[in-house]
C-alpha cells in the first residue's frame, strides 16, 4: 500500500487568523518502506514571519522572499499525494494549513478521512507518555542528532521511521524489487513472512499411560494420614 508521510512549517498556529504555510515535505512509502521519492517545497507566505515561528524553523522573511507561491505548486503537490493515506504528527494541524492553502487557490480540499495521526497511534500505545516527535524518537532509538531546528522534510523523514515502529516495526522480511524488475518498471514491494522453511513436528502426547496411572495409585496408597483422605484434624 502506498502512503505519504508529510510535515509542514508555518508562520504560526492558526490558518483562520492569517497564518500561512511556508514549507511542506512529503515522503512516499510503499509497504512501509521508504521508496526515496519525495516532494519538498518552500513557499512565500506573503506576510511577515513572526520571530517566535522563525526561532522554531529558522525560515526568515529574506529566505522566503524569492520562493514561489503555494498556488504555483498546488497541482504538483496534489498529483504527488494522489489518493494515498496521509500520515502526519498532530495531523489535524497539518491538514488545517494544507486545506486552507488549497482553498485559497481554488483547489479541492483533501478529504480528512485520509488522515492518519501518529499522535493518536502513540497515545494508544503509550498512554500518559510524552508524545512529541522528539520524545517518541528517543523512546524508539531513532537518531535525531542532525535535527537542530524543525524542517518539514527532515521531520517527515523522522516521522516515517517512527511510523514504522508505531505500527509494528520491521517484524516482517522484506523482499524488495530486484534489478530486473526495476529495469522493467515494476516497483512493487513484495513482502514475505520470515521462516517459511520451518519443519512441522507433530505434538508430543502428554497424557499418562495406564502403567503410569497404576504406579501413581500404588504410591499414593503408601502415604499415611494423607490430607485428601478427609482425616479430622482435631483427632
Each residue of 132-174: pLDDT tens digit? 999 999 999 999 887 767 889 999 999 999 999 999 876 544 4
Q: What is the pLDDT of residue 13?
A: 94
184 versus 115: the higher-pLDDT residue is 115
What is d(CA 128, CA 115) in angstroms, rounded to the nearest whole number? Answer: 23
User: What are the backbone dihedrals phi and psi of residue 26, each rounded to the nearest 5 degrees, phi first?
Assistant: -130, 140
Flag whether pLDDT at 231 surpasses 90. no
The contacts of residue 200 (CB under 8 Å, 6+ apart) are: none
Binned at pLDDT 50, 70 and 90, residue 50 comes out as very high
Q: With the CA atoms of 99, 100, 103 and 104 taken in that order, what torsion angle do they form, in degrees rounded to the nearest 10? A: -150
Please determine, for residue 62, whether its predicted confidence score (pLDDT) is greater than 90: yes
Does this model's pTM top 0.85? My answer is: no
Averaged pLDDT for residues 174-195:
45
Domain ranges of the chain: 2-170
What pLDDT is recorded for position 165? 94
Q: What is the mean pLDDT of the chain?
A: 85
Reported confidence tier of residue 217, pLDDT bands at 50, 70, 90: confident
pLDDT value of position 197: 53
Question: In the prediction, which pLDDT does 230 show?
Answer: 64
CA distance 174 to 206: 38
Residue 178 pLDDT grade (very low, low, confident, very high; cuts 50, 70, 90): very low
Per-residue pLDDT band at 41 (split at 50, 70, 90): very high
Q: Which is more confidently placed, 223 or 229?
A: 223
For position 188, what pLDDT does the model report?
45
Q: What is the pLDDT of residue 146?
A: 78
Report the binding-site residues for a divalent metal cation. 7, 9, 155
| C-alpha of 142 from chain center | 12
Q: Is 34 left (phi over 0), alpha (psi -120 to 50) or beta?
A: beta
- Type and span of the H or E element at 24: strand 21-30
Neighbours of 127 (CB within 10 A): 8
- C-alpha span between 86 and 28 (Å, rounded): 10
- Cell numbers representing residue 41 in the block: 517545497
Nine-digit cell string for 60: 526568515
Catalytic residues, by residue number, are 150
- One of 3.30.70.890, 1.20.1110.10, 3.30.420.10, 1.10.630.10 is the CATH number of 2-170, namely 3.30.420.10
- Mean pLDDT (whole number) for 44-72: 96
pLDDT per residue as tens digits for the range 92-133 = 999 999 999 999 999 999 999 999 999 999 999 999 999 999
Tell me what pLDDT residue 8 has: 97
Q: What is the pLDDT of residue 212?
A: 80
Amino acid at each position: 500500500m502506498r502512503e505519504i508521510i508529510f510535515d509542514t512549517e508555518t508562520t504560526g498556529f492558526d490558518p483562520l487568523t492569517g497564518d500561512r504555510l511556508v514549507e511542506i515535505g512529503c515522503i512516499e512509502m510503499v509497504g512501509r518502506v521508504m521508496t526515496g521519492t519525495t516532494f519538498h517545497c518552500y513557499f512565500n507566505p506573503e506576510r511577515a514571519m513572526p520571530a517566535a515561528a522563525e526561532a522554531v524553523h529558522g525560515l526568515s522573511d529574506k529566505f522566503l522572499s524569492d520562493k514561489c507561491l503555494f498556488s504555483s505548486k498546488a497541482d504538483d503537490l496534489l498529483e504527488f499525494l494522489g489518493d494515498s493515506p496521509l500520515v502526519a504528527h498532530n495531523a489535524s494541524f497539518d491538514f488545517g494549513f494544507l486545506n486552507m492553502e488549497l482553498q485559497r487557490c481554488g483547489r479541492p480540499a483533501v478529504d480528512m478521512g485520509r488522515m492518519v495521526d501518529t499522535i493518536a497511534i502513540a497515545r494508544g500505545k503509550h498512554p500518559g507518555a510524552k508524545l512529541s516527535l522528539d520524545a517518541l524518537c528517543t523512546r524508539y532509538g531513532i537518531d535525531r542528532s542532525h535535527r537542530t531546528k524543525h524542517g518539514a522534510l527532515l521531520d517527515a523523514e523522522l516521522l516515517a521511521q517512527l511510523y514504522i515502529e508505531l505500527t509494528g516495526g520491521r517484524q516482517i522480511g522484506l523482499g524488495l524489487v530486484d534489478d530486473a524488475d526495476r529495469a522493467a518498471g515494476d516497483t512493487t514491494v513484495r513482502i514475505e513472512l520470515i521462516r517459511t522453511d520451518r519443519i512441522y513436528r507433530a505434538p508430543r502426547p502428554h497424557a499418562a499411560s495406564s502403567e503410569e496411572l497404576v504406579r501413581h495409585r500404588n504410591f499414593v496408597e503408601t502415604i499415611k494420614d494423607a490430607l485428601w483422605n478427609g482425616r479430622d484434624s482435631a483427632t
